[in-house]
Amino acid sequence: MSTITDDAYWNKLDEQVALTTAIKATHSGLGDWNGVLCRAVVEWSNDYYVFQISEILKLDLDDCVFELQTDKYRFIVTGMVTGERNTVNHAEGWHSRHSAGKVDHFCTAGWLVNGISRYRSFYDCGSDRLIRDFFGFQDSFEFNLNQTPYRLLAHGRHVVVEVLRETPYEIYSENVYNIMVAIGFVTGKFIQEHNYTFQLREDDLSSEWLYRRLRSGSSSMYHALTWNAYGYKHLLGQEKADIIYDSKILKPLDTDVLGRLAQLSNNRHAIQYALVLFNEANSDKLSLLVKNSCFYTVLEVLRKYFYQVFKPRLPENYSNLGNIPKFKAVFSQLVSLSDTEEAMLKRRNAILHGEVDDIGGTEMIALMQMQISLIYRLLLAYTGFDGYVINHYALRNQLPDQAFIKLGQADPKRS
């Protein structure tokens, strides 16, 4: 647990948050595109940045990179041309033709593209509770990723990630992405679309920053754990919620597990693929068929990954086993599978091969809940979480005594 008491630190965060808001404005001035001087504009519109440049550029083929000099800033802007536009002023009797597009990223001209520095990134998550809901009563904490120290904190409605020693930006960028992937996996809130990063210097005078636009994030009602049983009182009932609360068995995620999960995503491409697919499939906006197809794919990726991890422990005839015995042999190295989970795994071929005529909506929901819960258990057991995870199927199917499943610490290398 960590609490930062330095007022200057929090004041600096306030300044940087204010800047991320202030730059959502119209920035117009002189553009320099490959040595050609022109007029250019960058502005915030419909929840993303767009640009206009008074040159006719190729549609969708290449990145459009130009320098923009305004009265206040000098930007380097990178985006993609989406079309040509006409501006007509009938009153003054003129018109102009220009290219328009979406901004992928832009930065102050002093941003060191290949720099080695400390960095701090801001993500607007729309809530001031995300950290406390999953990591306990603390406004900041520190953890390691590949032996590099990071700090995660909540500041108003922002999640803030910063590296605590000088790091090449390319490495930082990859690390911080995987930290957000890990947070999305645990919380159900995959925050990635708008990312503002500041370069930090020891003298704290640096005002260089970079904005990056990634894919849209996702949000889900399903998450890995809770440390407040009363959040599910409507499903558990008052009496059961009281018993669980008084037992104090539920606890927040410890920071070491978050670091190991982010490191696993960062260092193992298959796990990163599985976690990103899980996060995006967990979105409230997707259909049950899409969700189930994706979650079965995640389970297949995990089976193959854990096969390599636990290969010395598996039966000698593993390669001759059927699909379900293979799943059981691998996953049982980490968790115990229930009869309902085995039945869920048997539905894998039907979903992935499109044999869904006899699968109704109720079963689709049950399959999804069991898959989500099993994936949480596998990865959190592997990364060493010694606590309880949510069994979403039991929680929502009148099985309150099975609503939370205890994990123990696994012993394999997790890097």
Task: Quote the pLDDT of residue 415.
Answer: 46
State phi, psi for 260 to the nearest 5 degrees. -70, -35
Q: Which domains does the chain have, with CATH numbers?
A: 19-108 (no CATH), 113-219 (3.30.310), 229-257+264-406 (no CATH)
Task: Quote the pLDDT of residue 396.
Answer: 93
Find the mean pLDDT for residues 271-285.
Answer: 96
Find the mean pLDDT for residues 82-103.
Answer: 71
Q: Which of 125-129, 130-134, 195-199, 273-277 has the lowest mean pLDDT?
A: 125-129
Task: Quote the pLDDT of residue 63.
Answer: 78
Residue 356 scores a pLDDT above 50: yes
Strand partners, 319: none
Per-residue model confidence as pLDDT tens digits over 238-247: 999 999 999 9
CB-based contacts of 6: which residues, under 8 Å, 6+ apart? none
Task: Quote the pLDDT of residue 94.
Answer: 46
Task: Quote the pLDDT of residue 135.
Answer: 84
**Residue length of the chain:** 415
Task: Quote the pLDDT of residue 410.
Answer: 52
Grade residue 358 by pLDDT with cuts at 50, 70 and 90.
confident
Q: Which of 308-312, 353-357, 404-408 has the lowest mean pLDDT?
A: 353-357
Grade residue 317 by pLDDT with cuts at 50, 70 and 90.
very high
Question: What is the rounded average pLDDT for all residues in the chain?
Answer: 89
Percent of the chain exceeding pLDDT 70 equals 92
Per-residue model confidence as pLDDT tens digits over 366-375: 999 999 999 9
Task: Quote the pLDDT of residue 348.
Answer: 86
Grade residue 114 by pLDDT with cuts at 50, 70 and 90.
confident
Residue 40 scores a pLDDT above 90: yes
Find the mean pLDDT for residues 137-143.
Answer: 82
Q: Which of 7-21, 80-94, 213-227, 396-410 has the lowest mean pLDDT?
A: 80-94
Residue 414 scores a pLDDT above 70: no
Task: Quote the pLDDT of residue 200.
Answer: 87
Task: Quote the pLDDT of residue 296.
Answer: 94
Query: Most confidently modeled of 10-14, 146-150, 405-409?
Result: 146-150
Residue 202 scores a pLDDT above 50: yes
CB-based contact 327:303 (threshold 8 Å): yes
Grade residue 360 by pLDDT with cuts at 50, 70 and 90.
confident
Task: Quote the pLDDT of residue 1.
Answer: 40
Per-residue model confidence as pLDDT tens digits over 318-352: 999 998 999 999 999 999 999 999 999 988 877 87
Token pair belonging to 404: 């939370």
Residue 353 scores a pLDDT above 80: no
Task: Quote the pLDDT of residue 172.
Answer: 96
Q: What is the pTM of this model?
A: 0.91
The closest of 197, 198, 194, 196 to 213, measured between CA atoms, is 194
